[in-house]
Structure 1
Amino acid sequence: MSASSPHPGEVGRLIRELRTALGWSQSRLASELARVGGDTVTRMYVSRWENGHCAPQPYWLRHLATVLQVPLETMEDTVNRRGFLTSLTGTAIAPAVAADLIEAGFAAALGDRARTGEDWDGAVETYGRDYMTQGAAEIQKRLVADMIVLQQQVETPRSWVVAAKLATLYAKTFPGSDGLKAVSWYRHAARFADRSGDRDVRVWVRGRAAIALGYEGAALGMADALAAQAMALDERPSLGMVNAVMGRAHAAALRGDRATALSLVEEGRRVFDKAGSDDAESDYAVPWWRFNIFASLLAARLGDERLAGEVQAEADRHLPASLPRFRTHLEMHRGLMMARQGDSAGVGYAQAALDALPPEKHSLTLRMVMEEIHTATG
């Protein structure tokens, strides 16, 4: 398909989506086209284009590209990527915001906001740090904007690495129980990582997804599947392997398989001893304090006071003061332990810890842990 003979149905759907994202009626689009082109175009013309009855002629394609911020020379590529674009702008984003994001994406295609590989590497590092302290809503909005820009530039293995890491983080801004969003984006991230050809990233993406789902107690079958894929890709110790093993451990604990869960925690510790990261405050790192937070929730789920005391003491000792949200995790784990032991005060204890954290620092994961505590007391 060329710019001079686009498929009417595909272009029509694209025109409609971009028009509605801008909050325009068909009549408004017709008026904008007349203003730019100087020739008369009616609402009926727009309706016929959007319904696929006919395709805009090259003259009108040029003006459509202008008023909808779609570069003509990339119209075909835009149509091919429409599904990716729609899935991003369809995540409960207001039309005015979506319009800004679309503009950013197509400006990048024109080279107005193009980023170098170093720029994208820096963006990944920034997101990794910001995720540790900022709320999911703010991170999600920024990620949507950058991913729409990135999807215009994904061509090299290096750019697919960036896409894989950002997609993994994007998935984490949705509750793991929302299979239509979180799980689907973990799958996207795995495919992006595979496209990169980078084995370490392929393992890391799957492991990170496994621990995220296991920790949240959601989509446990997918957590197991992604963990198994990570472990099959590469048996060497790595951060991805640590995450994969601990994801499987949480899945086992939630299924009531105590022996397997405890065995996997020990395996995770052995892998960590060989591959654990430094104390970097990033979602892409697994320092000692974070490993122990993983183990802390698992111990609470099992009702294992000895293990909980051991790992919570280690987490308390090493957890940076700059990350209060993770100290809230520890306090809520203690509340869950109380609830598991039949102490109804566990709910109040956990809720008090959550209330003490400023609302803008809350995470979806904390809310899911709170729901688990309520369920444990039921």
Structure 2
Amino acid sequence: MKRRAALQLIAALGAGATVPPGALEEILAGIDRAVDRPVDVDEWESAVREYGFLINRQPVGSLINDLTADIIGIGALLKRDNAQRTDLLRISAGLSALLAIEFGDIGNRRGARLTWGTARRAADASGDRDLKVWVRAREAEEAFWFGLSPQEIGARTTEAIRISGGIPNSGLPRAYAVRASLAAERGDEATSRTTMHELSDVFEGLPDSVTSDPATFGWNEARFRWNEAYVYTLLGGPRARQAVDGALALYPPGTLGPVANLRVIDGMGMIAGREVDMGLDHTLAALQELPLSPARRRMTGQILRTLPEEARALPAARELRILTSA
């Protein structure tokens, strides 16, 4: 078994290919058993945080192979280590959620749906209330950008808010942000603004451990301003411009996805303010920097649907249609 794993590893490295899941673990297992190495929960939790940090800084889909390999590793540990089952379930929920996000970003809806189901079940089995809220809110967020049924998205946000019991955690602001975005998209300004006030109250009550976390499991001021930018751009008004500028100033260099999305939101605001040519060019430039994620595709679709009739034949508008239909 170890010899086969070693040959697989050598062949993969020589060809510049992905290391087969489980091969490296099988090679190292003998040493770990010899030193009676226990499961290092802190090490696994650190790996989850690392993935969460990288997911917005690496090309979409680039973490799928590594996440899959680690989920296989956690699955093997769950079979033999009942003493730390709760911790391992919590880790597997985090890894599965991140894998589901990656599947969604490359357009693999079936993979995302199946993996979100696993993430939810693992979170529930762990008994970690905050994690149960986060998984459902994050799933709702991804479903929103993927353009799934508003009823399904609303059910997930309602479930997340109910499970939270009103106690602020990293998942709760996501649930309110999705609810506000849904209302803004359907033109329900009153509900959207009310929900944004609720989001603001939740944000103010978040513990420092959540607001200081720059990775996907946290919720800091940059995320809050990002969602303000999106909702208030849809609703219109001067607050949108302030929110976009505020969010852009808060994201550190290397945060690729959120910044590209903000630039599309900025383009959306320009077009709403009748700066159509500038807004189209701005959006097109943002889309050409990175692959077209579900969020950028959805926002671009909104731009194209709301373009003035006379602007729909512009070259930039035609190019945006081609990009979003690919």
TM-score (norm 1): 0.66
Question: Which of 257, 262, 265 lines up with 2:193 in the alignment?
Answer: 262
Question: Offset at 1:366?
Answer: 3.2
Q: Partners of 1:270 and 1:103 in 2: how far apart?
A: 48
Coordinate RMSD, CA, aligned: 3.1
Q: Partners of 1:364 and 1:111 in 2: how far apart?
A: 44
Question: Offset at 1:107?
Answer: 6.3
1:157 aligns with 2:89: no
TM-score (norm 2): 0.75
Deviations 1:156-209 (A, max 9, x none): 011111111111111111337754232332222111100101111111111222
Question: Which of 238, 248, 252 lines up with 2:179 in the alignment?
Answer: 248
Question: Offset at 1:343?
Answer: 5.2
Aligned to 1:187: 117
Question: Offset at 1:325?
Answer: 3.7
Judged with a 3 Å threshold, the aligned counterparts in structure 2 of structure 1 residues 343 and 175 are, in CA distance, closer, same or farther, namely: farther
- Unmatched tracts of structure 1, length 5 or more: 1-64, 70-95
Does the CA contact (< 8 Å) of 1:279 and 1:288 recur in 2? Answer: no
Does the CA contact (< 8 Å) of 1:210 and 1:248 recur in 2? Answer: no
Q: Partners of 2:146 and 2:233 in 1: how far apart?
A: 13
Q: Partners of 2:70 and 2:252 in 1: how far apart?
A: 29
What number of residue pairs does the alignment pair up?
284
Aligned to 2:213: 280
Judged with a 3 Å threshold, the aligned counterparts in structure 2 of structure 1 residues 367 and 209 are, in CA distance, closer, same or farther, namely: same
Q: Partners of 1:231 and 1:336 in 2: how far apart?
A: 30
Query: Which structure exhibits the higher relative contact order, with contacts defined as CA atoms closer than 8 Å and separated by 6 or more residues?
Result: 2
Judged with a 3 Å threshold, the aligned counterparts in structure 2 of structure 1 residues 209 and 105 are, in CA distance, closer, same or farther, namely: farther
Q: Partners of 1:138 and 1:193 in 2: how far apart?
A: 24
Q: How does 1:55-134 map to 2 (within 5 A)?
A: 100-101=20-21, 103=23, 116-134=40-58
Question: Which of 256, 262, 265 lines up with 1:333 in the alignment?
Answer: 265
Judged with a 3 Å threshold, the aligned counterparts in structure 2 of structure 1 residues 216 and 263 are, in CA distance, closer, same or farther, namely: farther
Aligned to 2:139: 209
AA at the equivalent of 1:333? I
Judged with a 3 Å threshold, the aligned counterparts in structure 2 of structure 1 residues 140 and 224 are, in CA distance, closer, same or farther, namely: same
Judged with a 3 Å threshold, the aligned counterparts in structure 2 of structure 1 residues 343 and 309 are, in CA distance, closer, same or farther, namely: closer
Q: Partners of 1:121 and 1:148 in 2: how far apart?
A: 15
Q: Partners of 1:188 and 1:326 in 2: how far apart?
A: 26
Structure ID, larger Rg: 1
1:144 aligns with 2:68: yes
Deviations 1:5-31 (A, max 9, x none): xxxxxxxxxxxxxxxxxxxxxxxxxxx
Question: Offset at 1:211?
Answer: 2.6
Deviations 1:62-90 (A, max 9, x none): xxx89987xxxxxxxxxxxxxxxxxxxxx
- Unmatched tracts of structure 2, length 5 or more: 6-15, 313-326
| Structure 1, 315-324 or 133-142: larger mean CA deviation | 315-324
Aligned to 1:298: 231
